[in-house]
Amino acid sequence: MVATHTPTMLKSSVMAELVMFFGIGFFVAALLGLLIVLSVHNRFARLGSVDQSHADVRQLEQKLAVALEERSKLQREIAAVKRDVELTWAAERIESALFRERINDVACEVVRITRALKSRARRSSRYLLMQPW
């Protein structure tokens, strides 16, 4: 059995992939946030120094900013992939419609030629029947 990929199957698989990318990005951002919270908590428990804690908070805020930038970059990439998929799908639909139209034109031409051949065959058989042998 040959597996065929319809545009609907391709679109749904691409959409599932996009959702997975978004989920992975969100999951990474959540893990980074959790690591930041744990790191701050451990520093507070060890050091107890307010000045050091402020420096740690600034450092963690910078890491958070990097993680959020990474997340927005991934979201932009997902949006670009989604646009590309939609454009490709539209182009494939147009191409498919053109192929269907060409097939219909060829089918009409085959019918016309078949009728012409049958008409000539009838005329020749009548002619042969009328001939005295």
**Under 8 Å between Cβ of 67 and 32:** yes
* C-alpha to C-alpha distance for 105 and 98, rounded to whole angstroms: 11
The ranges of the chain with pLDDT < 70 are 1-11, 45-52, 124-133
pTM for the model: 0.41
pLDDT at 18: 82
Residues for the chain: how many in total? 133
Instruction: Report the b/e string of 82-104 with b at 16+ CB within 10 A.
Output: eeebeeeeeeeeeeeeeeeeeee
pLDDT at 4: 59
pLDDT at 67: 94
* C-alpha to C-alpha distance for 71 and 77, rounded to whole angstroms: 10
Instruction: Report, in this order, helix, strand and coil percent for the chain, each rounded to 5.
Output: 90, 0, 10
**Under 8 Å between Cβ of 38 and 69:** no
Max CA distance (Å), the chain = 125
* C-alpha to C-alpha distance for 42 and 26, rounded to whole angstroms: 24
pLDDT at 1: 46
